[in-house]
Amino acid sequence: MSKLFRAVIMGPPGSGKGTISERIAHSFGLKHLSSGDFVRENIAAKTEAGVQAKTYIKKGLLVPDHVMTRLLLPRLEEMTKYSWLLDGFPRTLAQAKALNSACDLDVAINLNIPLETLKERLRHRWIHPPSGRVYNMCFNPPRVQGIDDITGDPLIQQEDDRPEALVARLRHYKDVAKPVTDFYKAKGILYTFSDTETDRIWPNISTLLNTKIPTIQSDARCASTH
Ligand SMILES: Nc1nc2c(ncn2[C@H]2C[C@H](O)[C@@H](COP(=O)(O)OP(=O)(O)OP(=O)(O)O)O2)c(=O)[nH]1
Ligand SMILES: Nc1ncnc2c1ncn2[C@@H]1O[C@H](COP(=O)(O)OP(=O)(O)O)[C@@H](O)[C@H]1O
């Protein structure tokens, strides 16, 4: 039977999901699917779910589960031929259950980063909102300070990356994420990585995926010869 590789990556805001997802996509040839990008695409295309999502995002809220799953699951159906890594979804147990009924995951990567580290990182985070590109003035600065490398547009700092807002976001994250990590732990696919530096976490994730991906893709190759 053909078997592709399917993973999710979870972690609090600023834990490095975006950064690590890019490295995984690049090193292992998986498609990096970001829920935030899907939301932005749907808003730009003015789909029904996109119009609904926009009303929540404008207020700085998470998109409700039923809107999010309606927006995301059809996109995953378009990906049945590909191995992928999903970043930013699921964020709640309801989303994890919806995803579970749509596909079988191989691995759930969970990033566990100390609060002080997250606060420090997000203080230095600058973003290019139209593309979602993220910079860090210490870790991966833009070529010209305050300017997006690709478009030359000015970069901005997000309101909710301010320290006071961040503590509330992180507390909320913990409450909502715990049932999701418990769900994946019970399935035996949860892999938690704890450190203060992405560069120290990355080799461990790479080792894990090296053990998981070759076997799965060789299955897929056998299947494709029939
Ligand atoms: N100093 C330092 N900064 C890092 C490290 N890894 C990532 N960063 C930076 C890049 C960004 O400015 C910020 C957050 O990283 P990401 O945007 O990759 O995180 P994530 O996608 O989890 O955040 P989000 O859910 O979008 O808020 O921290 C690291 O090991 N050290
Ligand atoms: N799984 C999800 N559940 C609910 N809302 C989501 C989800 N993924 C993305 N969103 C919405 O889209 C916005 C942008 O997502 P993302 O790019 O991941 O950025 P952020 O770092 O702000 O979470 C989020 O702030 C949230 O409102």
The CA–CA distances, whole Å, from 94 to 90, 106, 176, 190 equal: 8, 19, 10, 17
The per-residue b/e assignment along 77-100, b for 16 or more CB within 10 angstroms, e otherwise, is: eeeeeebbbbbbbbbbbbbbbbbe
Summarize pLDDT for 25-54 with one digit per residue, the tens: 999 999 999 998 899 899 999 999 999 999
> Structure pTM?
0.86
Categorize the per-residue pLDDT at 215 as very low, low, confident or very high, splitting at 50, 70 and 90: low
Question: How many angstroms is it from 102 CA to the middle of ligand 2?
Answer: 20
- Residue 17 C-alpha to ligand 1 middle, in angstroms? 7
Give tens-digit pLDDT for 45-80: 999 999 999 998 887 788 999 999 999 998 999 999
157: pLDDT strictly greater than 90:
no
Distance 13 CA to ligand 2 centre (A): 10
H or E element that contains 110: strand 107-112
Q: What is the pLDDT of residues 108-140, one digit of tens each?
A: 999 999 988 998 888 888 999 888 788 998 889
Our CA angle for 88, 190, 139, nearest 5°, is 50
As for the ipTM of the complex, it is 0.91
The full set of domains in the chain, from first to last, is 6-115+171-219 (3.40.50.300)
Residue with tokens 């976490």: 201
pLDDT number for residue 109 = 98
Q: Which strand (E) or helix (H) includes residue 8?
A: strand 6-10
- What is the best residue among 137, 198, 200, 202 to mutate for testing ligand 1's pocket, by most ligand atoms within 8 Å of CB? 198
Length of the chain: 226
Cα separations in angstroms, 95 against 35, 42, 68, 73, 202: 12, 18, 8, 10, 26
CB 25 within 8 A of CB 85: yes
Instruction: Tell me the sheet residues that pair with 110.
Output: 10, 192
**Other CB atoms closer than 10 Å to residue 66's CB: what's the count?**
13
* Mean model confidence pLDDT for the chain: 89
For ligand 2, whether the C-beta of 38 sits within 6 Å is no
Q: Where are the alpha helices (DSSP H) in the chain?
A: 17-28, 35-45, 48-58, 65-77, 93-102, 115-123, 163-187, 198-224
* Position 195 pLDDT exceeds 80: yes
